[in-house]
Amino acid sequence: MLIRINTYYLTMVFLLSLVMGIQIILIPWLATEYLELSPFFIALVQSAVLFPNIALLVFGGVSLDKGELFNKFQGLLLVSSVIHLLFLFLLTQQGLSLFWVLLYAFLLGAINAFVQPYKEYLAGILATSNLQAHIAKNRICLYLGQGIGIGLASQLYQSSLIFLPMIQILALFLVFICLVLIKRQKNKNVLISEKNQNKEKFSYSLLTSGFKFCWGSKVLRSLLTITAVNGFFHMGVFIVALPILVKTIYRGDVELFSFLQGLFTVGMLLSALIIIYRKKLEGPGRRMIFSILYSGLILLGLSAGPTVTGLLFLVFLWGVVVGISATLGRSILQSSTDPEYMGRVISIYQLTLFGFAPLGAICAGIAISSLGVLMVLKISAIMSFIAFTGTFFIRSLWDVEVTDA
Can you say how many angstroms the Cα of residue 372 is from the centroid of all Cα atoms in its chain?
26
Torsion of CA 376, 379, 385, 389, to 10 degrees: -130
Return all residues near 10 (Cβ < 8 A) that are at least 6 apart: 137, 138, 141
Return all residues near 339 (Cβ < 8 A) that are at least 6 apart: 125, 192, 196
Mean pLDDT of successive 10-residue stretches along the chain, which has 405 residues: 74 91 85 81 82 70 61 86 90 80 89 79 64 77 88 79 89 91 65 47 66 87 90 90 90 86 90 80 84 94 93 95 88 82 81 84 90 94 93 78 62
Distance CA 23, CA 87 (A): 12
Distance CA 203, CA 92 (A): 44
Residues 111-137 as b/e (b if ≥16 CB within 10 A, e otherwise) read bbbbbbbbbbbbbbbbbeebbbbbbbb
Sign of the four-CA dihedral 401, 403, 345, 2? positive
For 136, 236, 304, 326, 403, the CA distances from 227, given in Å and listed in that order, are: 18, 12, 26, 9, 20
So what's the pLDDT on residue 193?
A: 44
Nearest to 179 by CA among 105, 273, 80: 80
Q: Which CATH class is domain 2-186+209-398?
A: mainly alpha
What is residue 253's three-state secondary structure? coil
Give me the residue spans of the domains in the chain: 2-186+209-398
70 in Cβ contact with 182 (< 8 Å)? yes
Residue 305 — left, alpha, or beta (φ > 0 → left; ψ -120 to 50 → alpha)? left
Counted residue by residue, the chain has a size of 405
Inter-residue long-range contacts of 242-248, CB under 8 Å, 24+ positions, other chains counted: 242/28, 242/315, 243/28, 243/29, 243/31, 243/32, 243/42, 244/32, 244/39, 244/42, 244/368, 244/373, 245/302, 245/311, 245/373, 245/377, 247/32, 247/33, 248/373
Can you say how many angstroms the Cα of residue 272 is from the centroid of all Cα atoms in its chain?
15
So what's the pLDDT on residue 188?
A: 45
So what's the pLDDT on residue 142?
A: 86
